[in-house]
Amino acid sequence: MTGCESSGNSNASDEYTRMRINMIERQIKARGVSDKTVLDAMMKVERHLFVPKELEARAYADYPLPIGEDQTISQPYIVALMTELMGLKGGEKVLEIGTGSGYQAAVLGEICGEVYTIEIVEALAKRSNALLKKLGYKNLRVPSSYRYINPF
């Protein structure tokens, strides 16, 4: 819906595109995720942008990766499965708890009208907010939610 703008040079971009296609075919579709909207969103969001630079080559692998602050980015299949199980039709307003790297929020942002995502780890909230803005997501709201911990 709002789109991810591509980054990097053409050769690297082509390689990451191949890796994303492979991820979708071998990890996600092969395990039964079939919602075209979810598959299209997973294809559009460049997962390597949501992991630390030194882990970009492993971004499309079928396991979680550390993103700092003792947190991980979920494996691609889990993101696809959770998104499919939501039964989204497009245009919904969604609340995500635990922004982390912002990857799941970006996938949701490709489908939903509005995504509100809360992260209690200040460093992750700031990093994901900056990245999502840089990528052009206008329908995602990432407040400095680490402040919300006090009432809970």
Residues with active-site annotation? 74
Nearest-10 crossing angle of helices 76-85, 103-111: 40
Contacts of 20 (CB under 8 A, 6+ apart): 42, 43, 46, 47, 60
Taking phi over 0 as left and psi of -120 to 50 as alpha, with beta for the rest, 87 belongs to left
Strands 93-97 and 114-118: what pairing? parallel
How far apart are the C-alpha atoms of 108 and 45, rounded to whole Å? 10
Contact 137, 107 (CB under 8 A): no
